[in-house]
Amino acid sequence: MRIDRLRLFDVSLPLVHGFETSSHRKTGINHLLIEATDREGRVGWGEIASPADPYYGAETTETAWSIALRYLVPASLSAEWDEPEELESAWSRIRGHEFAKAGFSIAAWDLHARAAGLSLASALGGTRIDVAAGVSLGIEPSIDDLLVQVERQLAAGYGRIKLKIAPGWDVDPVRAVRRAHPDLDLHVDANGAYPDSPETTAIFRELDAMRLTMIEQPFAPRDFVSHSALQRSLDTPVCLDESIVDLGDLRTMLALDAGRVLNIKVSRMGGLSVARRAHALAAEAGVPVWCGGMHEFGIGRAANVAISSLPNFTLPSDVSGSDKYYARDIVTPPIVAEAGRVRVPTAPGLGYEVNADWLREHSSRVFDSAAGNTGSTIERLTA
């Protein structure tokens, strides 16, 4: 297989409800979408779900755009491949930039699955017909506002709620939600916002008493030692997210007992192939996994649904319906959750189609590797 043409779209969509974490608040999402066309005319789609700002990690939309055009596009257009892993090896020399790589990985897997007449889930080895979905709720102006959001998501059928926490917004809001919903599958996510200190340990011991499913990423990404020490002092499993960028990080987590649950994000780990390998390594170690989200549009969300169909994704994943975040998504039909579960598509590839007119309407710029006789171009549009 060979990719003959690549187009990149810089797309923005407003969120239906603003979302605040320990680092910042956002009211809209800006991601890059990849259209890869092979020599037979088949099209695969990928999504670079890097945030616009360098708060979750070092990558941003702008760095991803630059790395994609300078390195990943030429590598993808020059490679002959039969399996997605072979194409991914074409950019293996590039250090970091996992979000950018992940977008191209998803497009390659979509193309591969479509060529084979398989759903993406089947191509990856998935076994489920549907996956359990959870929702992530940001920091709200007040505890009462948070409780309203929790009720709204429970009414929509979601059975697992993740709460973002930060210093000053932790014990009280979590206690309020637990009191209102004693049996709720509830966990918290700090996005690495806490210092390793006796005061922090005291906060997490209070949270430990609230019967949480997990406490996600309390400390900075590279601080495996502090995570290990905290895990030894808690009954609640620590889950690592930002800390696990590659399989070496996962092996470190396992060796130090720095976490007992793994959040696998396709984007954070550089694509579907490495996410699948992380799933297998965690399964071998007896560590349960779930799929985290980055407010993906339908393309990235469909990839997350597909990877979540693998057998060791035993905890609800952040694959809620498109309507949780967007009034109208890029794909048709929209991804929907029914009674807190999302169906795994059986159609070839991602199982969803991209609305080309809607995509172009919300794109601020488009790169085309084969724009007429002039070669590759960047077209600037009005989003």
- Active site residue ranges: 164, 265
Q: Which two tokens stand for residue 46?
A: 């990928």
Alpha carbon 168 to its chain centroid, in Å, reads 26
User: CB of 336 within 8 A of CB of 321?
Assistant: yes
Strand partners, 354: 331
267: buried, middle or exposed (CB in 10 Å: 19+, 13-18, 0-12)? Answer: buried
Integer Cα distance of 309 and 294 in angstroms: 18
Beta bridge partners of 131: 342
Interior CA angle at 269 toward 267 and 273, to 5°? 95
Structure tokens given for 157: 């059928």
Angle between helices 298-307 and 272-285 (to 10 degrees): 30
Handedness of CA 126, 109, 222, 280 (dihedral sign): positive
Give, to the nearest 10 degrees, the angle between helix 98-116 and helix 272-285.
90
CA dist., res. 38 & res. 78, Å (int): 12
Tokens matching residue 116? 């084979």
DSSP letters of 104-137?
Answer: HHHHHHHHHHHHHT-BHHHHHT---SEEEB-EEE
Backbone angles phi, psi at 66, to 5 degrees: -65, -50
Q: How far apart are CA 236 and CA 347, in angstroms?
A: 39
* Count of helices and strands (H, E) across the chain: 14, 17
